[in-house]
Structure 1
Amino acid sequence: MNHNVYISTPIYYVNDKPHIGHAYTTVLSDVIARYYQFTNFRVLFSSGTDEHGIKIEESAKSNNLTAQQLVDMNSRYFGEMIRYMGCHVTDFIRTTETRHKEKVIAVWNLLVKKGYIYKGYYQGWYSIRDECFFKESELIDGKAPTGAEVSWVEEESYFFALSKFQNKLIDLYEKDYVKIHPEFRKNEVLSFLKSGLEDLSISRTNFNWGINVPDDSQHVIYVWIDALVNYITVCDAYERNYWENSQIIHVLGKDILRFHAVYFPALLVALEMKLPDSLIVHGWWIKKQEKISKSLKNAIDPHMLVEKYGVEIIRYYMIKEMKVGSDTNFSEEDIVKCNNTDLANNFGNLLQRTLMLLKKGASSTVPDVDISNDDFYDDLYSNLIPTILDSMRNLDFFSVLSHLQNISNRANQYIECNKPWELYKNDEHNFKIKIKVLLECIKCIYVCLACIMPTTSKRIMTMLGITSIDVRLLLKTHSLESGLVIHPLQEPLFCRL
């Protein structure tokens, strides 16, 4: 197995500040990166900002700024967003950096040398908001499928010979060489490919803010060609041949699937480079049946949410509420419900009850008893934890949280059924078995939460005498240390809102 992993968010367009959609993509990517780190993979995790194009040029003018001033300011907001969402990237790339411009020009020149770029004349529908071309047949009521306005464009352009790669791409997806999650998104890509690919216009002449085509300063390289090359820039800067020697996972929203599932793989085939292994394609956060976005002026500030509720609660809410592939309605009422029902009433209640019982019946000390014959303990390690590990391997953290809620519910029921507050008076041995089983449940829950709520998990792991977290803690052979003193929390782990 290849133990190098490269995980990327898309690079974010900096014509405005970050919104909840950017924060969710970053958090989901961070959760996946942490999972691979905990399973002892070597992880490169990147994010960054896409800083060229006509939207930047126009936004800068409307704000009485230069384009460079605008991207410098807004790129900083995205860097801050990554930090306040509790995420840690290896590389934050900006497309205005010299290293990236040089890589884009090198890629362009190589494609020219291989005969895949030629000069021609473009006519067609174009959406400035989406930075994307659309066929007449794709328009819905005269607009792009995303609802964006389109305009008819006629101009001299350089083209990438995309049509040459149609059959190759169909074969790659039909044979699952590149996996797209969820599966129905793969079917969308195949449908688009089988409808026929046209050569792609990859330069513009109606604005100046971008990377000039080599030896033709009248043309600026299409912003999506520029942007997609960032992944290669990052890997080459990190380590020679890292791209070729890694498992590659791109996390992205459904509105940019075409760029990552059609244009970028075609470029990689043309360059004779390795293809990504997986595309994780999530849906949109919506409000009043509309996508939450900067362009629609209904953006929700993730920093405000973190300030109001705390980063760990928001991370939990995002992963709990959005099943990858589906659109999800944003609601602050659901944030409160997640906190009160899942965190305070279930996880928090289990922890508090167990620690109080441990103090009362065992002087806050992990009992030295054999729990291998307990039915719930056996089910935990024989069925419940393996199910969670399967979900983790499939990068399905929505299901991971559902399974953890089930374990916690089962543990709370276990307390009610066994009444340990009575056992400690007349059956000390059985009491200690029940308490140690509960402590094992708590250990497993917070090990699994480490990817999603890293600070909370670390606090509980430290209390349980665990100094580093990895997947082996979910094996029976890594039980809690007998004799360890675990003091009750001075205040609830999760407070009701």
Structure 2
Amino acid sequence: MAKRFCIVTAIPYVNAVPHIGNTLTNLAGDVVARYRRLRGDDVWYVVGTDENGLKIKEAAEKAGRDPKEFVAEIAGRFETIYRGLGMEYDDFVRTTSERHVRTTQALFQKLQENGHITKGTYEGWYDVSTETFYREEDLVDGKSPDGNEVRWVQEENYFFRLSAFEEPLLKLIESGEMRIIPETRRNEVLSFIRQGLRDMCISRRNPGWGIPVPGDESKVIYVWFDALINYLTTSGWPDNPNWSEIWPADVQWLGKDILARFHATLWPAMLMGAGLPTPKALVAHGWILLSGEKISKSKGNVVPPLELAQELAERSGCAPEIAIDAVRYQLLSTMPYENDGNFSYEEFDRRYNSDLANDLGNALNRSLAMAHRFVGGVVPDAPLEDEARQAIGQALDAYEAAMDDYRLERAAEAAWGLVRFLNKYIDTRAPWNLAKNQDPALGSVVRSMLESLAVASAMVAPYMPNTAKAIAEQLGLEGAPSWGGLRQGGSLAPGATLRQPKPIFPRLDVRKAAPAPAPQQQQAAKTKPSKKEEAPLPEISIEEFLKVELRVARVLEAEALEGSDKLLKLQVMVGEEKRQIVAGIRKNYNPLDLIGRQVVVVFNLKPATLRGTESQGMLLAAVDEDGGAILLQPDREAPEGARVR
């Protein structure tokens, strides 16, 4: 069997609270796994939990729990969150499992046989919170560099000869045999190695929790030494004769703080010492900060991802699975590499509205609405226009290059570049004008719109699988388009029936909840008199009426105006001129239903500002018995921009 594309991710301690920061690593792995599957690769994607640390035993004792039951419960919590976020992993490695104990002890023995593990006395400081040893000169004001309390430890232990691997590690990294991404992290690792590597203590006195050192039950294997081996455990080494079908990992995802000291030095040195292949690439991302501070349980600023999605679904009205996609998109499209990222609820809301509701949502709604209006709701049998074919090719080139470099934020930008091209292309090619003039280019334009949308949905799929599925269904596809056919413009079969457009991303109202009315105000509302009929306005002359310039316009875009439950913001074409109009018709019209429709507007009305948004005209509408709007429109297609008299 051929080598599988193996993706492994750093495993969290089970005493941690799952939040948007410590799930980012696993989400990144999921995106790459989904992308590689789209490309036809046989993928093996692995996550897991780190359960053998001393601090975990102490946390269980503090909670009055049996450690095994304690870690099993929290590991299950991580699995629930991972599955809830749509991660499709192939293996979940728990470091307390029998198979992991077997692999860990086997690797320890292999390194002993090869002369890389010796026995000696360790004397120094130990940070239980991060399970890390420190020298006196490493401490900052008597604490670890992370600000944690340390304990003095003096005991006979086993040491790994890390110092013997300085030159092999430099060669491994400098040759590119083991890539480190981004470049800034690679430089940090090289600098760290050149400062000199020290032999590392890899055992502790046995506290009744952990993996015993083979042949010496008085000691357990150092938690960092054992945790790193989980990546190898998934392959079944040493007992599985086909372990090399999975190992080495093609890419290993982790946070920046555990790169230099562990994943880029200790881990590959352990593998080289045992005669095993090293990972092909390490990708170390930055942290996600909340308002500039690191997310942590102790600071009380944890953002749980599933709760964030649930709240978004409730506030926006989108489907729960689409809300999950929105959380995934927010975290992955802004994934920090060289620097740390910053999460804020305000930016989360803004990007939901701008990137999802406006960009992607409008591209879908406009394309399908116009296809139904102008070509009968089927895929035209016409070639793509060169402009669209070129845009698709350029977007795919940028996307694939970014994915090959594991730059997820750049790949997302490439996908959204195509989405923004599509919206601009619709404005520029104006299919409503082509339909009116019976231009033979109409079929190619609509086909180009639909194919661009199909390609964009495939590029979005690794980040937002539920969204991509919803788009594919509206395009009449049974599944995701074949990646190999994206460049040829053959994702959609000519004559295929398109479904009616259905909004996926209702615009999010970011208003704060209004205070409840006082009791007396509520009572007053109950006794409010019925509305009286309006008195007729004074007569005007024909000359006065002719001062009002009425024109036929076509709605290009429609969306709810942020901060209002009554207003819609419309982009309309009046002849050759594009205008923005704010209209109080939200309670009576779904924005999607307005796209492509002809309306009558007051063309020469002085611009006004409503809720901070400029309105460059007014729609004409009748008023129903409840005060709602009934839009006026020609009873048949009228010339674009035609005067109304």
What code does the residue aligned with 1:54 have? L
SS for the counterpart of 2:23 is: helix
Which residue is 1:256 aligned to?
258
| Greater RCO, 1 or 2 (C-alpha within 8 Å, sep 6+) | 1
- Superposed CA deviations along residues 361-409 of structure 1, whole A, max 9, x for unmatched, are 11101111123xx342232144232222212222222112212222222
Which residue is 1:181 aligned to?
181
Task: Report the Cα distance in structure 2 between the residues aligned to 1:197 and 1:146, rounded to whole angstroms.
Answer: 20
Task: Report the Cα distance in structure 2 between the residues aligned to 1:43 and 1:31, rounded to whole angstroms.
Answer: 12
- Superposed CA deviations along residues 325-369 of structure 1, whole A, max 9, x for unmatched, are 431112122221121000100111011111111111111011111
CA contact (8 A) 1:15 1:70 kept: no
Shift of 1:133: 2.2
Q: Is the counterpart of residue 121 in structure 1 residue 121 in structure 2?
A: yes
Task: Report the Cα distance in structure 1 between the residues aligned to 2:30 and 2:420, rounded to whole angstroms.
Answer: 27
SS for the counterpart of 2:244 is: coil
- Superposed CA deviations along residues 5-25 of structure 1, whole A, max 9, x for unmatched, are 110111221013312222211
Shift of 1:102: 1.4
Which residue is 2:490 aligned to?
478
Task: Report the Cα distance in structure 2 between the residues aligned to 1:216 and 1:242, rounded to whole angstroms.
Answer: 30
Q: Closer, same or farther in 2 for the Cα pair 1:239/1:395, shift >3 Å?
A: farther
SS for the counterpart of 2:21 is: helix
CA contact (8 A) 2:393 2:487 kept: no
CA contact (8 A) 1:95 1:230 kept: yes
Task: Report the Cα distance in structure 2 between the residues aligned to 1:297 and 1:96, rounded to whole angstroms.
Answer: 29
Structure 2 counterpart of 1:425, from 436, 439, 442: 436
Task: Report the Cα distance in structure 1 between the residues aligned to 2:166 and 2:377, rounded to whole angstroms.
Answer: 65
Which residue is 1:387 aligned to?
398
Structure 2 counterpart of 1:354, from 344, 360, 367: 367
What code does the residue aligned with 1:320 have? S
CA contact (8 A) 1:7 1:45 kept: yes
Shift of 1:145: 3.6
Shift of 1:295: 5.2
Which residue is 1:455 aligned to?
466
Which residue is 2:242 aligned to?
240
SS for the counterpart of 1:22 is: coil
Shift of 1:306: 2.4
Q: Which moved more, 1:429-438 or 1:261-270?
A: 429-438
Q: Closer, same or farther in 2 for the Cα pair 1:181/1:80, shift >3 Å?
A: same
Structure 2 counterpart of 1:289, from 278, 281, 292: 292
Task: Report the Cα distance in structure 2 between the residues aligned to 1:195 and 1:219, rounded to whole angstroms.
Answer: 30
Task: Report the Cα distance in structure 2 between the residues aligned to 1:294 and 1:54, rounded to whole angstroms.
Answer: 19
Shift of 1:464: 2.6
Shift of 1:431: 1.8
Shift of 1:3: 5.3
Task: Report the Cα distance in structure 2 between the residues aligned to 1:333 and 1:486, rounded to whole angstroms.
Answer: 36
Task: Report the Cα distance in structure 2 between the residues aligned to 1:82 and 1:151, rounded to whole angstroms.
Answer: 34
CA contact (8 A) 2:206 2:217 kept: no
- CA root-mean-square deviation: 2.0
CA contact (8 A) 1:126 1:153 kept: yes
What code does the residue aligned with 1:366 have? V
Shift of 1:149: 3.5
Q: Closer, same or farther in 2 for the Cα pair 1:473/1:317, shift >3 Å?
A: farther
CA contact (8 A) 1:129 1:295 kept: no
CA contact (8 A) 1:352 1:488 kept: no
SS for the counterpart of 1:475 is: coil
Q: Closer, same or farther in 2 for the Cα pair 1:20/1:227, shift >3 Å?
A: same
Structure 2 counterpart of 1:488, from 495, 500, 510: 500
Q: Is the counterpart of residue 267 in structure 1 residue 270 in structure 2?
A: yes
Task: Report the Cα distance in structure 2 between the residues aligned to 1:370 and 1:424, rounded to whole angstroms.
Answer: 17
Task: Report the Cα distance in structure 2 between the residues aligned to 1:419 and 1:396, rounded to whole angstroms.
Answer: 35
Q: Which moved more, 1:429-438 or 1:27-36?
A: 429-438
Which residue is 2:309 aligned to?
306
With normalisation by structure 2, the TM-score equals 0.73
SS for the counterpart of 1:112 is: helix
Q: Is the counterpart of residue 404 in structure 1 residue 407 in structure 2?
A: no
Which residue is 1:50 aligned to?
50
Task: Report the Cα distance in structure 2 between the residues aligned to 1:140 and 1:472, rounded to whole angstroms.
Answer: 55
Q: Is the counterpart of residue 209 in structure 1 residue 209 in structure 2?
A: yes
CA contact (8 A) 2:163 2:198 kept: yes
Task: Report the Cα distance in structure 1 between the residues aligned to 2:395 and 2:290, rounded to whole angstroms.
Answer: 35
Q: Closer, same or farther in 2 for the Cα pair 1:86/1:202, shift >3 Å?
A: same
Task: Report the Cα distance in structure 1 between the residues aligned to 2:247 and 2:76, rounded to whole angstroms.
Answer: 31
What code does the residue aligned with 1:61 have? E
Q: Is the counterpart of residue 326 in structure 1 residue 339 in structure 2?
A: yes
With normalisation by structure 1, the TM-score equals 0.94
How many matched pairs? Answer: 493
Q: Is the counterpart of residue 316 in structure 1 residue 329 in structure 2?
A: yes
Task: Report the Cα distance in structure 2 between the residues aligned to 1:383 and 1:473, rounded to whole angstroms.
Answer: 15
What code does the residue aligned with 1:436 have? R
Shift of 1:195: 0.9
Q: Closer, same or farther in 2 for the Cα pair 1:268/1:426, shift >3 Å?
A: same
Task: Report the Cα distance in structure 2 between the residues aligned to 1:294 and 1:123, rounded to whole angstroms.
Answer: 31
Task: Report the Cα distance in structure 2 between the residues aligned to 1:87 and 1:410, rounded to whole angstroms.
Answer: 30
Shift of 1:61: 1.3
- Superposed CA deviations along residues 397-422 of structure 1, whole A, max 9, x for unmatched, are 21122122222222212222222112
Which residue is 1:276 aligned to?
279
SS for the counterpart of 2:282 is: strand
Task: Report the Cα distance in structure 2 between the residues aligned to 1:279 and 1:148, rounded to whole angstroms.
Answer: 27
What code does the residue aligned with 1:6 have? C
CA contact (8 A) 1:354 1:435 kept: yes
Instruction: Report matched runs for 1:8-19 at 5 Å.
Output: 8-19=8-19
What code does the residue aligned with 1:472 have? G
Q: Closer, same or farther in 2 for the Cα pair 1:110/1:370, shift >3 Å?
A: closer
Which residue is 1:464 aligned to?
475
Q: Which moved more, 1:406-415 or 1:375-384?
A: 375-384
CA contact (8 A) 1:381 1:476 kept: no
SS for the counterpart of 1:286 is: strand
SS for the counterpart of 2:158 is: strand
Shift of 1:246: 5.0
Q: Closer, same or farther in 2 for the Cα pair 1:378/1:303, shift >3 Å?
A: closer
Q: Is the counterpart of residue 442 in structure 1 residue 453 in structure 2?
A: yes
Task: Report the Cα distance in structure 1 between the residues aligned to 2:442 and 2:278, rounded to whole angstroms.
Answer: 56
SS for the counterpart of 1:123 is: strand
Select the structure that is richer in helix. Answer: 1
Q: Closer, same or farther in 2 for the Cα pair 1:245/1:289, shift >3 Å?
A: closer
Shift of 1:241: 2.6
Q: Closer, same or farther in 2 for the Cα pair 1:367/1:266, shift >3 Å?
A: same
Q: Which moved more, 1:425-434 or 1:294-303?
A: 294-303
CA contact (8 A) 2:455 2:486 kept: yes
Shift of 1:303: 2.1
Q: Which moved more, 1:203-212 or 1:138-147?
A: 138-147
Instruction: Report matched runs for 1:23-102 at 5 Å.
Output: 23-102=23-102
Q: Kindly name which structure, 1 or 2, has the bigger radius of gyration based on alpha carbons.
A: 2
